[in-house]
């Protein structure tokens, strides 16, 4: 076994052990699935953090390709909910569906420029150092949406770079077998709430149009909402997070249709590691939907 495959196997086994899996059957096909995916070997996508004003015209086309989903639908209907359009700050205007942007990377740069040195909500005067716009592949088929930047993110200008970010990276890389640079990661609010409190509804309302524009620029096949804040801003629902996770929710934004999966926030998983197994089940739904080899 070559050293790269050995390392990948060790990382995968460690991830499974953290999930509480004690016995695992390794077959030739599971070993084959650990071989580097094309998405994992391509050059990393440029981060879009910290207001890149420079036009990026063709970055999307050079992004790592994603595994195509199989033609037949691998997700049983029991894991789907009926079509749904979000309400509140995410409600679509009654306008006809906008055409997909020709250049998602350039569109993201444009959105970042529109956001500017934002003062639309009170978070700008509550101690934020910088805006954390989002980072990753503008051509991603998978987008993760978190709540809002914490202290590390505020310092670095990048989403999910602290402890919770490390766990998210492990979930993406060790669990799903993707390179973090192949996906796109952003938050509902782009500025750090003081003491890492949950963003308030007026703050989410001020920032949500930018999240919606990011999603409409990237048009991923699947959005994964991390935790209740992201879930509630993308899908109006009553009840607990547990009641909406574990299945795909059709989501319509301005006439464009995609799928939403809701799972636990990595910070919650750090506090209650016993829920990691449930989060792993959610990731497996995502992997099946996206046709990823480890699913
Ligand atoms: N938690 C979040 O919700 N987002 C981040 O970027 C970091 C921690």
Give 127-159 pLDDT, tens digit per residue: 999 999 999 999 999 999 999 999 999 999 999
Best of 132, 144, 152, 165 for a ligand 1 pocket test (most atoms within 8 Å of beta carbon): 165
Cα angle 246, 15, 178 (rounded to 5 degrees) comes to 70
Per-residue pLDDT at 107 exceeds 90: yes
Per-residue pLDDT, 230: 98
3-state secondary structure of 161: coil
Architecture of domain 77-290: 3-Layer(aba) Sandwich (3.40)
Q: Please give the distance, rounded to the nearest whole angstrom, from the Cα atom of residue 28 to the centre of ligand 1.
A: 37
Q: Please give the distance, rounded to the nearest whole angstrom, from the Cα atom of residue 231 to the centre of ligand 1.
A: 14
Q: How confident is the model at residue 47 (pLDDT cuts 50, 70, 90)?
A: very low
Residues in the chain: 295
Q: Could you tell me which residues are beta bridge partners of residue 249?
A: 260
Q: Could you count the other beta carbons within 10 Å of the beta carbon of residue 281?
A: 13
HSE-CB for 226 with a 13 A CA cutoff? 30
One-character DSSP codes across 98-146: PPPPS-HHHHHHHHHHHH-S--SSGGGGTT--S----EE-TT-SEEEEE
Per-residue pLDDT, 7: 76
Laid out side by side, the sheet with 135-136 consists of: 135-136, 184-187, 142-146, 222-226, 256-263, 248-253
Which atom in ligand 1 lies closest to the alpha carbon of residue 187? 4
57 compared with 205, residue with greater pLDDT? 205
Pocket of ligand 1 (CB under 6 A): 146-150, 153, 159-160, 164-165, 187, 267
Provide the residue ranges of all domains of the chain, joining segments of one domain with +.
Answer: 1-36, 77-290
Distances (CA, A) of 258 to 7, 36, 85, 214, 234: 35, 27, 11, 14, 12
Percent of the chain surpassing pLDDT 70: 70
Distances (CA, A) of 214 to 48, 93, 145, 218, 220: 11, 16, 11, 6, 10
Per-residue pLDDT, 19: 66
| Cα 15 from Cα 101, distance rounded (Å) | 37
Eight-class DSSP state of 182 = G
Best of 150, 186, 271 for a ligand 1 pocket test (most atoms within 8 Å of beta carbon): 150
Mean pLDDT of 247-258: 97
Per-residue pLDDT at 165 exceeds 80: yes
Per-residue pLDDT at 195 exceeds 80: yes
One-character DSSP codes across 191-214: SPPGGGPPPPHHHHHHHHHHHHHH
Of 2-11, 33-42, 189-198, the range with the lowest mean pLDDT is: 33-42
Q: Please give the distance, rounded to the nearest whole angstrom, from the Cα atom of residue 225 to the centre of ligand 1.
A: 11
Q: Please give the distance, rounded to the nearest whole angstrom, from the Cα atom of residue 182 to the centre of ligand 1.
A: 18
Which atom in ligand 1 lies closest to the alpha carbon of residue 158? 6
Per-residue pLDDT, 31: 61
Of 133, 165, 147, nearest in space to 232 by CA: 147
Decide: 160 and 227 in contact? Cβ < 8 Å. Answer: no
Of 142, 139, 136, nearest in space to 101 by CA: 139
Query: Per the confidence metrics, is the pTM higher than 0.85?
Result: no
Per-residue pLDDT at 111 exceeds 70: yes
Q: Please give the distance, rounded to the nearest whole angstrom, from the Cα atom of residue 148 to the centre of ligand 1.
A: 5
Q: Which pair of tokens denotes residue 56? A: 């990026």
Q: Which pair of tokens denotes residue 65? A: 């390709």
Mean pLDDT of 219-230: 98
Per-residue pLDDT, 75: 47
Best of 153, 157, 207 for a ligand 1 pocket test (most atoms within 8 Å of beta carbon): 153
Q: Please give the distance, rounded to the nearest whole angstrom, from the Cα atom of residue 77 to the centre of ligand 1.
A: 31
Of 222, 265, 264, nearest in space to 243 by CA: 264
Decide: 213 and 254 in contact? Cβ < 8 Å. Answer: no
Per-residue pLDDT at 208 exceeds 50: yes
Q: Please give the distance, rounded to the nearest whole angstrom, from the Cα atom of residue 84 to the centre of ligand 1.
A: 26
Best of 128, 134, 159, 195 for a ligand 1 pocket test (most atoms within 8 Å of beta carbon): 159
Q: Could you tell me which residues are beta bridge partners of residue 256?
A: 253
30 compared with 76, residue with greater pLDDT? 30
Per-residue pLDDT at 23 exceeds 80: no
Mean pLDDT of 97-116: 94
Of 34-38, 75-79, 179-183, the range with the lowest mean pLDDT is: 75-79
Q: Which helix (H) or strand (E) holds 253?
A: strand 248-253
Q: Please give the distance, rounded to the nearest whole angstrom, from the Cα atom of residue 64 to the centre of ligand 1.
A: 24
Mean pLDDT of the chain: 82
């Amino acid at each position: 076994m070559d050293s790269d495959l050995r390392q990948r196997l060790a990382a995968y086994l460690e991830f499974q052990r953290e999930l509480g899996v004690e016995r695992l059957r390794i077959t030739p096909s599971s070993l084959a699935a650990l071989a580097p995916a094309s998405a994992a070997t391509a050059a990393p996508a440029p981060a879009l953090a910290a207001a890149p004003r420079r036009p990026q015209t063709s970055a999307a086309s050079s992004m790592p390709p994603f595994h195509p989903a199989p033609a037949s639908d691998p997700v049983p209907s029991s894991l789907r909910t009926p079509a749904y359009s979000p309400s509140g700050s995410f409600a679509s205007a009654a306008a006809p569906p906008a055409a997909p942007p020709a250049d998602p990377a350039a569109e993201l740069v444009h959105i970042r420029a529109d956001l500017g040195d934002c003062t639309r909500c009170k978070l700008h005067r509550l101690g934020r150092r910088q805006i954390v716009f989002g980072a990753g592949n503008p051509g991603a088929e998978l987008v993760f949406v978190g709540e809002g930047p914490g202290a590390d993110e505020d310092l670095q200008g990048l989403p999910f770079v602290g402890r919770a970010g490390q766990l998210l990276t492990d979930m993406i890389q060790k669990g799903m077998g993707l390179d973090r640079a192949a996906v796109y990661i952003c938050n509902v609010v782009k500025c750090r709430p003081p003491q890492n409190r949950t963003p308030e509804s007026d703050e989410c309302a001020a920032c949500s149009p930018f999240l919606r524009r990011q999603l409409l620029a990237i048009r991923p096949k699947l959005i994964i909402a991390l935790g209740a804040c992201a879930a509630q801003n993308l899908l109006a629902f009553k009840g607990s997070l547990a009641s909406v996770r574990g299945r795909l929710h059709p989501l319509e934004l301005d006439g464009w249709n995609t799928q939403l999966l809701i799972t636990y926030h990595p910070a919650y998983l750090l506090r209650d590691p016993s829920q990691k197994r449930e989060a792993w089940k959610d990731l497996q739904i995502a992997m099946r939907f996206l046709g990823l080899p480890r699913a």
